[in-house]
Structure 1
């Protein structure tokens, strides 16, 4: 990649004018860095030194000589030639979900039902008692099972206590018979709107609940205590810092989670900036939105100015809503969660309160429903400036992709979804619909700004996995060799930008983060290799050595 070289007389490249920093104050200078950032124009530029003050704001970036001259009394930190990047941003994650997974059984690495059963049996032995056994991460596609697992396959392991394991995408759950009984689910229990109780050929409930049917189980699951919530948040923040995330957009929070975020911000315990979305427009929204959007809290560490809604389910559990039947299940179109009138009402309610609206839509029918709703509500409420988003935008008709640009909708996409879904996506939607699936290049060519994330804990939170997937269209094993539909891949610059500047922009935060420019926060990471000189196929191997937020080191390997 050809990088922009700056003239020596103006290498403090982030200034509006070269002389604007004559009176700059700095408390800390990092020196001898192999630094890369994007500038205001989106060009990748290099730097050797950066200064920031005791508020964590950058005061100078450029050569060591220039920065030192403008920060004569600063403390110097030697980067020893290591690569320094802006802190990376995950534009779609579930922070408490990640923390919860880190405290429960993780089945995401299992490759067969038998392997999963062995892990569950061991987990039950290691956690005796009568309480619930919880976990997440199973994927029947990776097990090559050809069907969902059943309650009976859990009953053989644990029958005297309830068991509940969520699917990797969070859109289905697997229960044993004890849990089904506690939830009052029988063969005669009707499917709720927007959900499905999986049944066998004789109509018997098998133990898997899809989308809205999960609510039947969630009603009887014990809610985390405040202490457990704190532990989840602490573990999640630790994990995020270790992989170089200095900010995350939390896709759907509750009143209790908002309380914990504010508490952590007050105590200086937030080690990543959290851009939160209120989960839905129900009672939690009514309580949290009384005073309108929270544009900043705790020294710009916490924000609550968006709402998260759902149009449909997920592709792996066939809950994503499709315009035509699934190619591998001609009797199913998936599930729209709401009628057009209901989704219009929810979007309008949030918009009128001044909130950015971010809607989960995976199938082409789900995406079309939300595009139609956005077109109507944005025109009625004049809310173009809210930068409303569709989260995932996974399967979109070729006719609908241009509407993201014309309506002004941000595609918030997760590159590792493509490389995780490649083993089943085309089977689900067929060779024609796949042309509008995970279509990053098509979106970029029309001028859309993609906000990248991972959807953790559905995928791993490591943003270098996402950059690798975006650039190569391969999984970590290097498959497929030529990349999966490689015509949709991003350049390294584009992938870097979608995890930095464009993710920041999608959260109205481009003035404070996303690049290392004067006036922005010193949110940066130190990594163990040069991202822009390595082979793209090894990007996922990148390790984070240090993570800094507002000039404060929050992680060191």
Structure 2
């Protein structure tokens, strides 16, 4: 134990008056990482946790801890009856507003065909006749028998009186009916915008599918959400995340309205923690940067980073590749933000002391982002700001070591690998898989990996992510032995990526990520010990209770 940690315990135990906010949790089967982020952290077990004023005061063995305590002064003692507790899980990449909106829209995630997707949308439209637009998300043509992009005609057969706009599961493509195309003025003569593509049929007519920046042609016509609608969606997302055991989330790209909603909610005591990234496309970005970082007194809201999109997604062939797609030789993907614009953004952001988190999926996009970080560091430094590449999904093997050399954090989502395994080789070919989803390779070279889900692209449940990280299998335990299993993580590594190292990726490892003295008492109670059950069923773990700052903010209905 370091001198600093020992002093922290002494200060808490001897200098803090015992109040009604003092809680002693006993008879726990507890796990936490201790120590520094990266390869030096270690897993520790404990059975007793003392919380004072929302922070961890002491953690360890009951007999040893209680020798220093007067139990009569502890106003609240909770016997966990041997239940497992872990530090609150941190999702290092999600879209909170998108999740909340998803909960209020047509959900197409389970649609097994284009016909099924249309039926779901039509049913949703009939149940919501008051809606001006019919909006949904979650379709994925890779899960359909045809594996082909859908057509506007199929939507037109079901809905003609209202515009329909349906975002693909990855958020990088959309499917619209003719009414929506008409309102956006999209015709055969419309030119695809830079960084986007209007998919056309053999006659040059728009099919109704728009890729990346082309989506904005319709999105600018959507009814603007009010601040109250935004806060309602965020609250729905908060409730959902807490039920999954997520106590902190890194929100990957918010606009000015979303920021205002967060600030309003933070003033009313948000139930979980949000590390929000300003959107690189926000028109008021320069103004917001000039206002400086935002850190609420209770650490519930932190804003000191910017999210930039380099390219699109692999499933919609928008990920920017160095060589053509193996299953579509005329396509290389799309740079959503040009290299020149990216350079200008880096030069704007870094001098303000803000972290940059750049979405890069394809090997070309990852190389360009690494090049631009290197260029910016040579000009005016900034390596200390813990910049990140979001996804780092397909990286040329020569570029993997540059993450370590440039001190770049790899913010990765384990369930992307198990969702993409059925199409990634088709898109890339076997040779490019060497640098794809390379979690263990990056970890072994000392690169910090911050794990997340990218919800609502994937489901938010972090135990799905832990399972995918450890097994490299889907929840049907396929493929046998794991998909490129040499890149799997150990359970300890995976837990660290969802806790301590995710906290480090937000500059919060001194206050979050582990149950060590002085840190916020954010933790979860589970129905099973994940370290004592078969890795194949890790995803089945259920959260029975979620605590933030020592306060229970979620519990299962059956939990007493």
TM-score by length of 1: 0.95
Q: Which residue of 2 aligns with 1:68?
A: 66
Q: Which residue of 1 aligns with 2:271?
A: 271
| Per-residue deviation, 1:16 | 5.8
Alignment of 1:292-303 (within 5 A): 292-294=292-294, 296-303=295-302
In 2, Cα distance between the equivalents of 1:425 and 1:458? 16
Q: Which residue of 2 aligns with 1:368?
A: 367
| Per-residue deviation, 1:254 | 1.0
In 2, Cα distance between the equivalents of 1:29 and 1:258? 36
Q: Which residue of 1 aligns with 2:174?
A: 173
Does residue 1:15 correspond to 2:10, yes or no?
no
Hey, which bits of structure 1, 4+ residues long, moved more than 4 A? 10-14, 16-22
Are the counterparts in 1 of residues 13 and 57 from structure 2 also a CA contact under 8 Å? no
Q: Deviations over 1:375-416 (max 9, x none)?
A: 010221210110000000001000011111101111100000
In 1, Cα distance between the equivalents of 2:131 and 2:93? 35
Are the counterparts in 1 of residues 9 and 517 from structure 2 also a CA contact under 8 Å? no
Q: Which residue of 2 aligns with 1:219?
A: 220
Are the counterparts in 2 of residues 23 and 70 from structure 1 also a CA contact under 8 Å? no
Alignment of 1:323-342 (within 5 A): 323-342=322-341
In 2, Cα distance between the equivalents of 1:301 and 1:484? 37
Q: Deviations over 1:332-386 (max 9, x none)?
A: 0011123322211111111111110000000001001100000010221210110
More deviation in 64-73 or 212-221? 64-73
In 1, Cα distance between the equivalents of 2:153 and 2:422? 27
Q: Which residue of 1 aligns with 2:280?
A: 280
Alignment of 1:123-272 (within 5 A): 123-129=124-130, 131-268=132-269, 270-272=270-272
Q: Deviations over 1:451-491 (max 9, x none)?
A: 00000000011111101000000011111111001011001
Q: Please list every run of 5 or more consecutive structure 1 residues that lacks an aligned counterpart in the other structure.
A: 1-9
Are the counterparts in 2 of residues 241 and 555 from structure 1 also a CA contact under 8 Å? yes
Q: Which residue of 2 aligns with 1:458?
A: 457
Are the counterparts in 1 of residues 194 and 213 from structure 2 also a CA contact under 8 Å? yes
In 1, Cα distance between the equivalents of 2:182 and 2:377? 45
Q: Which residue of 2 aligns with 1:316?
A: 315
RMSD: 1.7
Q: Which residue of 1 aligns with 2:408?
A: 409
| Per-residue deviation, 1:144 | 2.7
- 3-state SS of the aligned residue for 2:78? strand
Q: Which residue of 2 aligns with 1:4?
A: none
Are the counterparts in 2 of residues 293 and 355 from structure 1 also a CA contact under 8 Å? yes
Alignment of 1:466-505 (within 5 A): 466-505=465-504
Does residue 1:437 correspond to 2:432, yes or no?
no
Are the counterparts in 2 of residues 24 and 60 from structure 1 also a CA contact under 8 Å? no
Are the counterparts in 1 of residues 193 and 213 from structure 2 also a CA contact under 8 Å? yes
In 2, Cα distance between the equivalents of 1:120 and 1:339? 35
Q: Deviations over 1:415-438 (max 9, x none)?
A: 000000001001001010011110
- 3-state SS of the aligned residue for 2:259? helix
Q: Which residue of 2 aligns with 1:86?
A: 87
Are the counterparts in 2 of residues 13 and 39 from structure 1 also a CA contact under 8 Å? no
In 1, Cα distance between the equivalents of 2:366 and 2:381? 21
Q: Please list every run of 5 or more consecutive structure 2 residues that lacks an aligned counterpart in the other structure.
A: none
- 3-state SS of the aligned residue for 1:58? strand
- 3-state SS of the aligned residue for 2:14? coil
Are the counterparts in 1 of residues 255 and 282 from structure 2 also a CA contact under 8 Å? no
Are the counterparts in 1 of residues 8 and 517 from structure 2 also a CA contact under 8 Å? no
Are the counterparts in 1 of residues 99 and 456 from structure 2 also a CA contact under 8 Å? yes
Corresponding residue pairs, total: 545
Q: Which residue of 1 aligns with 2:102?
A: 101
| Per-residue deviation, 1:15 | 3.2
| Per-residue deviation, 1:548 | 0.3
- 3-state SS of the aligned residue for 2:337? coil
Are the counterparts in 2 of residues 49 and 63 from structure 1 also a CA contact under 8 Å? yes
- 3-state SS of the aligned residue for 2:239? helix
Q: Deviations over 1:300-336 (max 9, x none)?
A: 1100000000110000000000011000000000111
Q: Which residue of 2 aligns with 1:59?
A: 57
In 1, Cα distance between the equivalents of 2:351 and 2:81? 51
Q: Which residue of 2 aligns with 1:554?
A: 553
Are the counterparts in 2 of residues 464 and 542 from structure 1 also a CA contact under 8 Å? yes
TM-score by length of 2: 0.95
In 2, Cα distance between the equivalents of 1:171 and 1:192? 14
Q: Which residue of 2 aligns with 1:49?
A: 48
Change (3 A) 1:17 1:338: closer
- Give the alignment partner of residue 32 of structure 1, picking from 22, 27, 32: 27
| Per-residue deviation, 1:290 | 2.3
| Per-residue deviation, 1:147 | 1.5
Q: Which residue of 1 aligns with 2:524?
A: 525
In 1, Cα distance between the equivalents of 2:141 and 2:228? 33
Change (3 A) 1:11 1:553: farther
- 3-state SS of the aligned residue for 2:45? strand
